[in-house]
Amino acid sequence: MKTAIVVVAAFVIDLLIADPYWLPHPVRFFGRVIVFLEKVIRRFARRPFALRLGGVFLAALLPAGVFWVTKVGLAALARWHQVLGLAVEVYLVAATLALKGLAAAAAGVQRPLIAGNLPLARERVAAIVGRDTASLDAQGVVRAAVESVAENTVDAVVAPLFYAFIGGAPLALAYRAVNTLDSMVGYRNERYRYLGWASAKLDDLANFLPARLAGGLFVLAAVLLGGDWRRVWRTIRRDGHKHPSPNSGISEAAVAGFLGVRLGGPATYQGVPSFRSYLGDPLGELHPEHIAAAVRLLYVVAGIALLVGVGLRALVAFGVGK
């Protein structure tokens, strides 16, 4: 049950203090390593095939390196000082979670919308989405924020918990390394079409199971919140596959079904217009309160995920002990 205790402690720490900027954060380190490795790869790789090989090297090296450095380092630290080793592992798992930070960022978008300060809302939502936000109207800002909360419920909460319960801090950090790779180089634009291909595919693979488990968690959360869980389930089944990502569509469809709104549609990325299939039914217009409702759903999904993980670890421990 040590792993379960570590994950629960990390979850509580994330709820209490989130990610103070003054503390060293692994994801910032991953970002620096990715920038360095990209420069090295581009120095030797020019053609598409060479860039693809370099991308495979990048996607394999960083997560594997993070996993083994963390595993060996924690083992050595625990041998030297068991309590300190445990504390560092708790901190590292907490660093893979972003529950409070995600909720706070979403609330930071909602507040200026309610106050009628659309320019500030656009500025704040730009920090959590990849699309262009300068010309978004109020409903567009709400949609962007809700879609971000939905997608990151998996990326920043469910998936890190999933891997932490399976393999502790080493596996959870390896997942975050994969996620960071995808967010930095996993684009289909001219610059990263070849170099980022492997990172994008690896992120799809890493999120495949967590995203589908999250679909069930969203349904359970809707039950607990008194929402229309049947509509959530129907929307996941009908629309979950329509998103360009094989995983993000599940969580976005679930949130759309819970809120009774339609997500997806037109957006602009770096000046290039794009259109994503609609998810959900427009039973009502998007408004700022939908952001708060998405955050409440986020917290309930996170709590259920934590309880399920603890329960399964207890079953494993009981079975092994027996």
Tens digit of pLDDT for each residue in 219-253?
Answer: 999 999 999 999 999 999 999 999 888 899 999 99
Q: Does residue 116 surpass a pLDDT of 60?
A: yes
Whole-number mean pLDDT of the chain?
Answer: 93
CA angle 241–259–141, rounded 5-degree value: 85
pLDDT of amino acid 278:
95
pLDDT for position 212: 96
Contact, 160 vs 175, CB < 8 A?
Answer: yes
For tokens 């409070």, what's the residue? 100
CA distance 184 to 200: 10
Q: pLDDT for 140-189, tens place per residue?
A: 999 999 999 999 999 999 999 999 999 999 999 999 999 999 989 988 88
Dig out the tokens for 289 from the structure. 């309160």
pLDDT at 215 over 60: yes
User: Residue 24's CB: how many other CB atoms inside 10 A?
Assistant: 8
| pLDDT tens sequence across 283-295 | 999 999 999 999 9
Interval 192-197 mean pLDDT: 90
Q: Decide: 97 and 154 in contact? Cβ < 8 Å.
A: no
Measure the CA angle with vertex 197, ends 196 and 203; round to 5°. 90
Q: What's the confidence (pLDDT) of residue 207?
A: 96
pLDDT at residue 320 tops 70: no
**321 pLDDT above the threshold of 70:** no
Query: What was the pLDDT predicted at 322?
Result: 53
pTM of this prediction?
A: 0.93
pLDDT at 7 over 90: yes
For residues 232 and 150, the answer to whether their CB atoms sit within 8 Å is no
> Checking phi first, is residue 265 left (phi over 0); if not, alpha (psi -120 to 50) or beta?
left
pLDDT digits (tens, 9 = 90+) for 9-27: 999 999 998 777 767 788 8
Give Cβ neighbours of residue 64 (< 8 Å, ≥ 6 apart): 174
Q: pLDDT by residue (tens digit) across 80-114? A: 999 999 999 999 999 999 999 999 999 999 999 99
Give pLDDT tens digits for 28-53.
999 999 999 999 999 988 898 999 99
d(CA 301, CA 282): 23
Under DSSP, is residue 272 helix (H, G, I), strand (E, B) or coil? strand
pLDDT grade for 302, boundaries at 50, 70 and 90? very high
